[in-house]
Amino acid sequence: VSASATIRDVAQHAGCSIATVSRVMNASGPVSIEMRDRVLAAIAHTGFRPSEIGRQLALRQSRNIGVVVPSLTNPVFATCLAGVQQAARQDGHNTIIAQSDYNPDRERAAITSLLAERPAALILTLCNPSDPQTRAFVASLPVPAVLMFNEPYAGSPPTVSVHNHEAGHRLARSLLDHGHQRIAFVSGSMAQSDRASARYQGFCAALSAAGLVPQPVYEVNFMEADDAADLSGLLTSQRPSGIVASNDLLALGVIAGLRRLGLQVPADVSVAGFDGIRIGRLIEPGLATIEWHAHALGVSAAAMALELAHSGTTTRVLRLDHQFRPGGTLAAAPVEAICDVEPRISSTSNPINEPLSGVSS
């Protein structure tokens, strides 16, 4: 029982050939009832568990799906991964993971390492799919691949994502509607994330439409929830009354960074983020954010990957819905902030369309 039995042991015990055993295991051919029972008994008796490895070699394909995410410690990726794993399991697949640590070189190494396992499919959240080198590498992948969370591009693998651009627009609108006119966009290293880029583009579009001139992204050295974000360079003469962070984890770091500088949220500065991580709802004030169903994103990615592996084709681009989640970190702009700003072009009135009814829902 300890040294795992092989299909031959089972065949011996059942008094049949290994072909028959294989047939009852996979229902891949006709087997008489009595023989089936004999084999089943032999399997139970020997404690036989078919080796995936043998199976994989024979079929030249595994039942594993490989997943690469930038990091596991950002809850939004962990949640995606949970969804992937659950969906994969329900289809009889195991999940092999790798982290790119937001590093394109590591990313390539990680994918290469996964490829050695001959996975049935790959699910990738790429650092920077706009990089030509990355695109070429992804295009040459010898197994079906699906992009998760990334922005699809011409020639990209099938992609399940969210409306990053719209989300950026939507969040900017919320701040504008609360009377904010000086709004900063804070991000980690921008070159590393097409998600952050797309959100920023949407953000800019909303500001421009409101007659404001968007400021460049304020980049902070903040990959994970290690520390408060260093905002000393942002809060100079013209302090923003609102800050949009490129994701929720960073938003928490921004709030901590503001606090360190003696500023209150939302009294002095409003803050909002993207992702809708669960923890954002538990804290006080609740984190205003654009929320999407990260778990469903993972489930969908796995579904697409498996469909691709099986039938060779699937939806090309799937975008999951998002919604604005109000939170106490986003409040009306302070009066002085509204006053001391010189309108850039023609500041239309910005009625507060979505007053917050207290805390997060």
Partner DNA sequence: CTGTTAGCGCATTCAA
Partner DNA sequence: TTGAATGCGCTAACAG
- Chain positions contacting DNA, by CB under 7 A: 6-8, 15-20, 22-23, 25-26, 28-32, 34-36, 48-51, 53-55, 57-60
Measured between alpha carbons, how far is residue 252 from residues 11, 172, 261, 279 in Å?
60, 18, 14, 10
244 DSSP assignment: E
Q: Which is nearer to a copy of itself, 31 or 263 (CB)?
A: 263
Which of these ranges, 35-43, 162-170, 245-253, 333-341, lies near a copy of itself under the rule CB under 8 A?
A: 245-253
Least Å from the CB of residue 3 to a copy of itself: 7
Q: Which is nearer to DNA, 25 or 96 (CB)?
A: 25
Q: Is 142 in the site for a copy of itself (CB under 8 A)?
A: yes
Can you tell me the distance from the alpha carbon of 223 to that of 303, in angstroms, rounded to the nearest whole number?
A: 29
Can you tell me the distance from the alpha carbon of 266 to that of 287, in angstroms, rounded to the nearest whole number?
A: 10
Q: Which residue has the tokens 């007659």?
A: 211
Which of these ranges, 29-37, 91-99, 308-316, 319-327, lies near a copy of itself under the rule CB under 8 A?
A: 91-99
Judge whether 253 and 225 are in contact, CB under 8 Å.
Answer: yes
Q: Is 56 in the site for a copy of itself (CB under 8 A)?
A: yes
Q: Is 79 in the site for a copy of itself (CB under 8 A)?
A: yes
Can you tell me the distance from the alpha carbon of 315 to that of 178, in angstroms, rounded to the nearest whole number?
A: 38
Judge whether 353 and 177 are in contact, CB under 8 Å.
Answer: yes
The interface mask with a copy of itself, positions 99-128, x = CB under 8 A, is x----------x-xxxxxxx----------
- Kindly tell me which residue out of 31, 35, 82, 205 binds a copy of itself, with binding defined by CB under 8 A: 82
Q: Is 2 in the site for a copy of itself (CB under 8 A)?
A: yes
Which of these ranges, 17-25, 90-98, 164-172, 183-191, lies near a copy of itself under the rule CB under 8 A?
A: 90-98
Rounded to 5 degrees, φ, ψ at 117 are -85, 0
**Cα–Cα nearest to 338, from 270, 288, 282:** 270
For residues 125, 127, 130, 135, the Cα torsion angle rounded to the nearest 10 degrees is -70
Can you tell me the distance from the alpha carbon of 106 to that of 87, in angstroms, rounded to the nearest whole number?
A: 26
Q: Is 86 in the site for a copy of itself (CB under 8 A)?
A: yes
Residues that bind a copy of itself (CB under 8 A): 1-4, 49-54, 56-57, 62, 64, 71-73, 75, 78-79, 81-82, 85-86, 89, 94-99, 110, 112-118, 140, 142, 224-226, 228, 249, 252-253, 255-256, 259, 278-279, 281-284, 359
